Amino acid sequence: MKMKINVDLRLKDVPGQLVSALDPISSCGGNIRGVVHHHDVKDGGRIAVNVTFEASSDPVFHRILDEWEKRDVEVAKINSFIETYPIRYLLVGDISSAEMESVTRGLESIENVVSIDVRYTGAATSSSHTALITGTVSSQDTLKTLDDFFYERTQKKNYLLVRGLEL
Amino acid sequence: MKVLIAGFGTVGQGIAEVIGTRQSLFDAMGEKVSIVGAFDSSSLIYGDNLDPKYLVEKKKTTGKVGDKEIPDDVASYIEEADFDILLDTTPTNIDHAEPGLTYILSALHSGKHVITSNKGPLALKFSTLSAAADANGVQLKYEASVGGAMPIINLSKQLLAGENIISLRGILNGTCNFILNRMKEEGLPFYQALREAQDLGYAETDPTYDIDGVDSAAKVAILANAIFGMDVNYYDVVRSGIRNITEDAIALAAEENSVIRLIGEIGGGKLEVAPRLVPMGHPLSIGGTQNMANIITDLAGEITVSGRGAGKNETASAMLSDLISIIRNKE
């Protein structure tokens, strides 16, 4: 589960502090996406630095926080969120409501599926139904898992699969 | 350069006409290009320097390009006849690739260059044909087989020669795109949009090759071999078509600010033709009958190329570029 984190740091106004603050991120496997060094903004005699980075998990992020504490890097503000990937699948054919319930249960059992929304339509005069499934997942690997899930399902049940171009 | 035209339908007539109108171009290159023979499914004509206008007129008025009957053994005729380049415009057959496959192999084995617009032989026997061309020191060119006037093969093989092409996604069949777009724009049911495409001449009476993704899958197989260096054929492409797309599906896609397009895809271990949900505004969300390919390379990043995918002049344009390429390579 990839996290994207934005932090406001306060560094001592002595040489080498920025490198010392960034080093724990890379040594813990984080990926630095942006650094803004506010030389002219001082807070309690410290210089303000804003850093955006990615971490692979919450424990990794906490290891970085621990390391900053040891290095006397003050953390003034933290914004973090989980990075998600959109999913979109359209199913067309003879899809019963029971089948849709089964598909939904199957999706809910897949790890890293964060949200699912299902829209299901059908004409009273036809056996053809259409289902649009949208949502998000928190891992790129899950995109492939879902792709396989829907492919196998539509092959077995003989209805048409229309995947989003995201994959 | 002496050329023999195999097949004299719309495409064959188109390339004959272009050879006639581009003589000053060939002169400027120091090369004379003359048609020394042409045949269709029932007749043959040969001569030193046949007049393209005469050939086209003859075909239009009599239904035959020549006065002589086509020989029983066309392969032997191709092997023995005195010409430099076979312009193969025979129709695609995805089951057995004939008669184009035999014609192309006969030309290559007898040391003649080949330019073809026929997808069948390439989609089924690409490696066999390439090996025959290499073994005989001649060129096999096929820009017209994919996307008509969309210059995807020569672009990738020549202008992007130093790139690693990572993936390709494309709209490779204009007929499907027309149908899907009409369903979206006018709320038409599939079969009504198909009928409209047939009335306008975009779809054949038997539309199977288009709407079941056969045509697109053949093109994916050709591109996978030609651009990605794979050794695959038509049957390696996972394929689904658009005949089961409903108005509801189109409407639900629109609610998601997307359209449905039949997309051919190569890359990431995939060789596939399938209907996909394409966000509006994405290059592949275009309407109309245009073909479009979106390729990702390691250095240049994303490149999108489009062009009219079918038609007499468009296919002739692609074959002409191959003809010029052969003339230049000769120099």
Q: Which of B240, B249, B284 sits opposite A90 (nearest CB)?
A: B249
pLDDT tens across the length of chain B (331 residues) = 999 999 999 999 999 999 999 999 999 999 999 999 999 999 999 999 999 999 999 999 999 999 999 999 999 999 999 999 999 999 999 999 999 999 999 999 999 999 999 999 999 999 999 999 999 999 999 999 998 788 899 899 888 888 999 999 999 999 999 999 999 999 999 999 999 999 988 887 789 999 999 999 999 999 999 999 999 999 999 999 999 999 999 999 999 999 999 999 999 889 999 999 999 999 999 988 889 999 999 999 999 999 887 778 889 999 999 999 999 987 6
Distances (CA, A) of A165 to A23, A151, B38, B81, B285: 38, 15, 45, 50, 11
Is residue B65 within 8 A of residue B45, CB to CB? The reply is: yes
One domain for residues A74 and A113: no
Q: State ipTM.
A: 0.85
Q: Is A123 on the interface with B (CB under 8 A)?
A: yes
**Which of A59, A82, A105 is a domain's end point?**
A82
pLDDT higher than 60, residue A167 = no
What contacts A52, CB < 8 A, 6 or more positions away? A4, A5, A6, A32, A33, A34, A35
At residue B89, the pLDDT reads 96
At residue B161, the pLDDT reads 87
- Is B275's CB within 8 Å of A122's CB? no
- Is B253's CB within 8 Å of A132's CB? yes
Angstroms from A119 CA to nearest CA on chain B: 8
Q: What are phi and psi of B328, to 5 degrees?
A: -65, -40
Q: Which residue in chain B is spatially nearest to A87 when comparing CA positions?
A: B277
**Which of A82, A101, A134 is a domain's end point?**
A82
pLDDT (tens digit per residue) in A130-155:
999 999 998 888 999 999 999 999 99
At residue A124, the pLDDT reads 60
- Is A128's CB within 8 Å of B248's CB? yes
Quickly state the pLDDT bin for A125 (edges 50, 70, 90): low
Q: Is A122 on the interface with B (CB under 8 A)?
A: yes
Exposed, middle or buried: residue A54 (CB in 10 Å: 0-12, 13-18, 19+)? middle
Helix (H) or strand (E) holding B62: helix B52-62
One domain for residues A31 and A100: no
At residue B205, the pLDDT reads 77
At residue A123, the pLDDT reads 66
pLDDT (tens digit per residue) in A58-77:
889 999 999 999 999 999 99
Q: Is B279 on the interface with A (CB under 8 A)?
A: yes
Number of domains in chain A: 2
One domain for residues A117 and A76: no
Q: Which residue in chain B is spatially nearest to A144 when comparing CA positions?
A: B268
One domain for residues A10 and A74: yes
Angstroms from A157 CA to nearest CA on chain B: 14
Nearest to B168 by CA among B158, B180, B156, B177: B156
Domains in chain B (CATH in brackets) are: 2-148+312-330 (3.40.50.720), 156-308 (3.30.360.10)
d(CA B171, CA B176): 9
Section A91-108 average pLDDT:
93
Q: Which residues of A touch B277 (CB under 8 A)?
A: 88, 90, 162-165
One domain for residues A59 and A107: no
Is residue B111 within 8 A of residue B138, CB to CB? The reply is: yes
Structural domain span for residue A114: 85-163
One domain for residues A70 and A55: yes
Distances (CA, A) of A27 to A32, B54, B108, B176, B303: 11, 77, 60, 52, 36
pLDDT higher than 80, residue A127 = no
Is residue B150 within 8 A of residue B305, CB to CB? The reply is: yes
At residue B331, the pLDDT reads 61
Q: Which of B245, B251, B276 sits opposite A165 (nearest CB)?
A: B276
Indicate the average pLDDT of chain A: 90
Angstroms from A138 CA to nearest CA on chain B: 20
One domain for residues A75 and A15: yes
Angstroms from B191 CA to nearest CA on chain A: 15
Q: Within its chain, how far is the Cα of B205 from the centroid? A: 19
One domain for residues A68 and A97: no
Look up residue B215 and give its two tokens.
């045509």
Task: Tell me how crowded residue B296 is: count the other CB atoms within 10 A of its CB.
Answer: 16
CATH number for the domain spanning A151: value is 3.30.70.260
Distances (CA, A) of A12 to A109, B86, B174: 49, 78, 64
Which of A162, A163, A166 is the best residue to mutate to test the B interface, defined by the most B CB atoms within 10 Å of its own CB? A162
Which of A134, A154, A159, A160 is the best residue to mutate to test the B interface, defined by the most B CB atoms within 10 Å of its own CB? A160
- Is B248's CB within 8 Å of A160's CB? no
One domain for residues A94 and A65: no
One domain for residues A73 and A140: no
Look up residue B186 and give its two tokens.
């006018």
One domain for residues A12 and A66: yes
Q: Which residue in chain A is spatially nearest to B255 when comparing CA positions?
A: A132
Is residue A10 within 8 A of residue A44, CB to CB? The reply is: yes
pLDDT higher than 70, residue A99 = yes
One domain for residues A143 and A111: yes
Q: Which residues of B touch A92 (CB under 8 A)?
A: 244-246, 248-249
Angstroms from B252 CA to nearest CA on chain A: 7
Nearest to B123 by CA among B161, B165, B172, B164: B172
- Is A160's CB within 8 Å of B244's CB? yes
Q: Is B274 on the interface with A (CB under 8 A)?
A: yes
Q: Which residues of B touch A163 (CB under 8 A)?
A: 274, 276-277
**A-B interface: how many C-beta pairs under 8 angstroms?**
61
